[in-house]
Each structure stands twice: as C-alpha cells, then as structure tokens.
Structure 1
Amino acid sequence: MLKHRKKRGIALITILMILAIMVTIATTMTGRMTSSLLRTEGLNFSQKVYWYGQASVELSRMILNNDFEDSDVISLDQIWATPDLIFPVEQGTISGSLKDNRSCFNVNAIGAADKDEVRALPVQQFQALLEALDIEEYAAEVIAESTRDWVDENNTEDAAQGAEDRIYEARSVAYLAANNLMVDISELRAVEGVTGKIFERIKPYLCALPVSDQSINVNTVAIEHSDILYALFKPKYEFSQEDFETLLEDRPSNGWSSVDDFLATGLLSGETISSELKEQLNVTSDFFELYGIAEFEKRLMALKVLFEIEDKKAIAIRFQYAGVE
C-alpha cells in the first residue's frame, strides 16, 4: 500500500513538472510570437512612413521643376517658398518646407588663398558676418581663419589666427582638420573657436554646399538675415546693417529681375561694384534644401534632402534622416 502511494506521489510530481515545462514553453512561444508580430508591425509602419517621406521628396521636386519652368528668376512669391506645407494622406500627413540654400552664406567658399598679402575677400566677408552677429572681433577673426584652414586643401595655417592639425591633435579627444569641403554645417562646430553658443547664433545664416563658390540670391535672403548682404559689401563699402534691412523691406514682391536691377536701387546706385563682388550676387538659385516630416499612425520620420538644379530640373543629391525640429 505504501509503495503504491509513493508511486502515485512520484507520478503526480512528474506530471506537475511536465505541466510546468509545457507552461514555460507555451509562455516563451507566446512571448516570441508577440515580439515577432510587434516587430513585423513596426517594420510595416516604418516602410509606410518611409514611402510617405519619399512622397514629400517627389512633391518637392515637382514644385521646384514647375517654378523653374515658369521663370528664370527665383523669388519668395513662388510656390516653393510657401512655408510649412501640409498634405493629409491616409492615416497620416506629409509636411515640409523648402529653403533656398543660395540665401545663406556658404562656408565652403572661403578656402581662397590671400593674394599679394591682401586677405582673401571671402574670408573678410565671413568675419564681417560674424561681427555683425555680435561675435567679438578677435573671436570672429579666429573662426574665419580657422574655417578657411578647415576647408582648404593644404595643411598649413594661412594666418596666425588659423588652426590646422597641430591645434586639434592637442585636444583631449584628438582629430584632424578636414582640409576638404564641409558636408554639413554642423561640421563647423569642430572648428577652432566655434563654441556651442556661437554656433547656435550663427547657424541660421550659414550653409555648407558641395561647391566652393559664393552666390547669394538677393531675391530670397530673408529680411531678418540682411546681415548676409551687409557682410558681402562690408570689406569695401561703408553701408550700415540697417541700410540692407531697409533695402530688403523695399524689395519688389516678385524680386529683382537681374543683378543690375538690384545694383541700380537707391542704396547702391552710383557705386562702382567690383567684378569679384558682383559675381557673388544672383537672382536665381541652384541649391535647395527640403526639411520634411512624414507621419503615419503617430510615427514620425524627419528628413533633409539637398536638391541641385541642373537644366531647370531638381535632382536630389543628398538624403539624410534628421531629428524633429
């Protein structure tokens, strides 16, 4: 009798162990299946929001192409300049805005060397812009010269206030000067003299284009960024910052039709403008940046796309995911 009870006890324990193992296996399988379903759902949502993002790129391309077909002059009264466009789509929205990247100061244009001991004009202009933005004179000179050393091709300091590898190698986290064009304006933060506070102050006025020329579209410079035009003229002309603010406030709604028309305005008429400066002015643009946000089922994807205009057609040449601003 006692033996039978022991056998029944062992059998019961065995059954309970098997049951516990089965429950554990079932729980694990359920958890894995749930995770797999959630992962699949997440991938599905990610794909949808990705394609919504691609739709914003194509929409921007169409807008730019249409504006360039209609006019050789680019100005703020055109469709591309409409701020914060929002388009509802199934279970989400597509929104974004286009920025003319020829309405900002291209930092990659200041790599020019001095000639006959005369400081290169683009470097003077960059320093003038920094000073106009309330950066102290010496700090502005250090940043301007160090930026030139960063984007030029040589590894020698063009001025005493410049910075090359020896400066950056001495830092706690060492690195080297790029000696190449900046890919993104955030790269400026690595340049000698550019503190976080200074960077946030000057960032809205700057851009880093994949070319080394300076071409400012006088039709698209924002009134609040009139210091960009002031900086271009400052090395050789005695105008005030307020002069250019007033000039842009009086700008025709559809912009100036040519650079000559711009230079014939009351402020600039009668001035002899050098060919070097005149080449930096334009009434059209060849680079635009899209900042877009695609939303699907409360999932967001922010992106930045750089368009280059070739033969009046917009071509996306740089695509990057971005944070939501």
Structure 2
Amino acid sequence: MHSHRFSRMPAGRPARSTQGGAALIVALLVFALCTALVVAMELEFSRFYQRGANILLAEQANAYLRGAEDLATLALLADHDADRNRDRPRDDLQEIWAQTPVPYALDEGGWMVGCLRDLQGRFNLNSLATRVTPAEGAPQFTPAQAQFIRLLQALEEPQLGEQEAISITEAVGDWLDRDLEPAMDGAEDDYYVGQTPAYRAANRPMASVSELRAVANMTPEIYRALEPWVSVWPQQPAPLNIHTAPATVLRSINADGELSPLSAAEAEALV
C-alpha cells in the first residue's frame, strides 16, 4: 500500500502577497507625485527668480536711460548758454552736443554710449500733407513735395527714377491729408482696404517715421534707405537746418521747379 501525504499552504499567505504588491504600487505613486511636485516647485521658483531678475534689469536700464537723458540735457543747456553769447546763434556740427560720443563705463560691466541728432537737419515728412490746387500754369508740386522727390532720387541704393519718386511722394501726401481723393499716383482707403490685412489711410500727420512702411508704393528696401534722412515734426513748416543736414539731404535742395537732385559737389558747396 502506498501512503500519500499532503502539505497545506499556510492560510493567509496569498493575501499578504497581494497587500505587499498594492503597497509597492502606492509607494511608487507617492514617489512619482512627490517628484512631480518637486519639479513643479523648482520650475516655479526658477520663473519667480527670472521675473525678479527681469524687473531689476528693467529698472537698471531705465536708470541708465534717465542718466543719458540728463547728460543730453546738460549738453543742450551748455549749447543754449553758448548761443546767447553769439551775435548770430545757430546749431551746427561743431557744437558740444554734436561731438563724437564718449562711451561711459558701467559698474556691472559694459558701456553706455549715445548721440544727439538735429531732426531739423532731416526732411519733415509731415510737410507733404499740403497739395497744390490744380490750375493751368501752376506748379504741379509744392516746394516740400519737389524736395522729397529729389531726396528719393538722391538715395544711393535702391536708385529711384523720377516717376517712382513722384508715386511715393503722392502716396505719402494721401496718407497725410484729410480727404479721401487719391492723387494721380497716390492711394486712399480704396487701396488700403484691399490689402491683407486690410487697413485705412491715417489722414493725419505722422507720429513716427515708421508709418512710412504702411504707405503705398513703399518697399522695405526704400524705407531702410530713406529712414536716416527723414523726421516727423508738427505740420507747421520748419526750415531745414543746412548746417546739420547730411549730404544726402542737402542734395534735395534745388529750385522749386526742378525735380532732379543736386550733385554731391553742388551739395557740398552749399555749406
């Protein structure tokens, strides 16, 4: 006869194994959650620190800017005092404000440098708002329009012809004037609402030279070439200061009925 022995597993062992597995999963979840919280806190602290650093740098830059403005004010006050002692005061490039700027060392490293420019030595775009009234025998362009046409042709690159310069001049005039009647080669709302995105002509004096980029017939290349030679003043006429005007602007000075710019030699002879 054969005898059989059966061994029984202790009761409860499978339950303990299951509980141990569940505890391990819970521990892993808690660890993952803690890791995520630590990473989130680190990112938030990094953002907080960066925001604080940005605020500090902005305040520092603003302080440097105010310092530069104070230096400019002192230079202009010195120029004003010097002009009072002149028989015929004028602004020219020999005065203290127009000298080569001196770099100022900053405490944290780096340099601050700036310069002053006489915007009266640049062409005033807002002078193009006035157009001539068509009449037989009358000039086709105002003196300001004729000067701007010459200035556009005086650009070195890109080189513009007379007709292209006239088209840009009339488009700028339409951008500035209050009516909705386009000039021969100009543009008003009917043109601008057809662009993508659509917009309208300002029909007011320019507040910034950068508005030129929105004007019809203007290209990025022409704008970059023209921007150093123009400014925006109130619409009231302001005479050009030939003593601070660069050579390109001086070439735009000619007889009112003449649309061609002066040669470089002729412009140099003006001063």
Q: TM-score, normalised by structure 2?
A: 0.79
In the TM superposition, residue 28 of structure 1 has moved relative to its aligned partner by 2.0
Q: Distance in 1 between matches of 2:261 and 2:179?
A: 35
Letter of the structure 2 residue corresponding to residue 126 of structure 1 = F
CA deviation vs aligned residue, 1:173-212 (integer Å, no higher than 9, x gap): 3221111111111211222221222222322221222334
The structure 2 residue matched to 1:47, chosen from 22, 42, 59, is: 59
Q: Distance in 1 between matches of 2:203 and 2:221?
A: 24
Does the aligned pair in 1 maintain the 2:171–2:185 contact within 8 Å? Answer: yes
Letter of the structure 1 residue corresponding to residue 269 of structure 2 = L
Letter of the structure 2 residue corresponding to residue 211 of structure 1 = Q
Q: 2:175 is matched with which residue?
A: 150
The structure 2 residue matched to 1:73, chosen from 90, 98, 101, is: 90
Q: Distance in 2 between matches of 1:5 and 1:169?
A: 76
174 and 17 in structure 1: CA distance in 2 versus 1, 3 angstrom threshold: closer
3-state DSSP class of the match of 2:103?
A: strand
Q: 2:160 is matched with which residue?
A: 135
Q: 1:191 is matched with which residue?
A: 215
The structure 1 residue matched to 2:126, chosen from 103, 108, 111, is: 108
Does the aligned pair in 1 maintain the 2:151–2:261 contact within 8 Å? Answer: no
CA deviation vs aligned residue, 1:27-64 (integer Å, no higher than 9, x gap): 32222222212221222222212221222222222222
Does the aligned pair in 2 maintain the 1:85–1:97 contact within 8 Å? Answer: no
Does the aligned pair in 2 maintain the 1:84–1:95 contact within 8 Å? Answer: yes
| Bigger radius of gyration among the two | 2
Letter of the structure 1 residue corresponding to residue 143 of structure 2 = L
The question of 1:234 aligning with 2:258 is answered: no
Counterparts of 1:196-207 in structure 2, within 5 Å, are: 196-207=220-231
Letter of the structure 2 residue corresponding to residue 207 of structure 1 = S
Does the aligned pair in 1 maintain the 2:154–2:261 contact within 8 Å? Answer: no
The structure 1 residue matched to 2:111, chosen from 80, 93, 117, is: 93
Unaligned segments of structure 2, at least 5 residues: 1-11, 84-88
Q: 1:178 is matched with which residue?
A: 202
Q: TM-score, normalised by structure 1?
A: 0.67
200 and 22 in structure 1: CA distance in 2 versus 1, 3 angstrom threshold: closer
Does the aligned pair in 2 maintain the 1:84–1:97 contact within 8 Å? Answer: yes
Q: Distance in 2 between matches of 1:70 and 1:59?
A: 17
Counting matched residue pairs gives 245
Q: Distance in 2 between matches of 1:151 and 1:212?
A: 13
Letter of the structure 2 residue corresponding to residue 94 of structure 1 = M
Q: 1:320 is matched with which residue?
A: none
Does the aligned pair in 2 maintain the 1:150–1:191 contact within 8 Å? Answer: yes
Bigger shift: 236-245 or 147-156? Answer: 236-245
Structure with more of its chain in strand, by fraction: 1
239 and 98 in structure 1: CA distance in 2 versus 1, 3 angstrom threshold: closer
In the TM superposition, residue 97 of structure 1 has moved relative to its aligned partner by 1.4
36 and 132 in structure 1: CA distance in 2 versus 1, 3 angstrom threshold: closer
The question of 1:37 aligning with 2:49 is answered: yes
Q: 2:187 is matched with which residue?
A: 163
Structure with more of its chain in helix, by fraction: 2
Does the aligned pair in 2 maintain the 1:110–1:212 contact within 8 Å? Answer: no
Q: Distance in 2 between matches of 1:56 and 1:247?
A: 35
Letter of the structure 2 residue corresponding to residue 247 of structure 1 = A
| Runs of 4+ with >6 A deviation | none
Q: 1:269 is matched with which residue?
A: none
In the TM superposition, residue 74 of structure 1 has moved relative to its aligned partner by 0.9
Letter of the structure 1 residue corresponding to residue 172 of structure 2 = T
In the TM superposition, residue 140 of structure 1 has moved relative to its aligned partner by 1.1
In the TM superposition, residue 115 of structure 1 has moved relative to its aligned partner by 4.5
Does the aligned pair in 1 maintain the 2:250–2:267 contact within 8 Å? Answer: no
Q: 1:220 is matched with which residue?
A: 244
CA deviation vs aligned residue, 1:262-314 (integer Å, no higher than 9, x gap): xxxxxxxxxxxxxxxxxxxxxxxxxxxxxxxxxxxxxxxxxxxxxxxxxxxxx
Q: 2:99 is matched with which residue?
A: 82
3-state DSSP class of the match of 1:110?
A: helix
3-state DSSP class of the match of 1:98?
A: coil
169 and 5 in structure 1: CA distance in 2 versus 1, 3 angstrom threshold: closer
Does the aligned pair in 2 maintain the 1:111–1:212 contact within 8 Å? Answer: no
Does the aligned pair in 2 maintain the 1:109–1:122 contact within 8 Å? Answer: yes
Letter of the structure 1 residue corresponding to residue 128 of structure 2 = I
Q: Distance in 2 between matches of 1:185 and 1:239?
A: 22
Does the aligned pair in 2 maintain the 1:128–1:235 contact within 8 Å? Answer: no
3-state DSSP class of the match of 1:99?
A: coil
3-state DSSP class of the match of 2:185?
A: coil
Q: 1:125 is matched with which residue?
A: 147
Unaligned segments of structure 1, at least 5 residues: 252-325
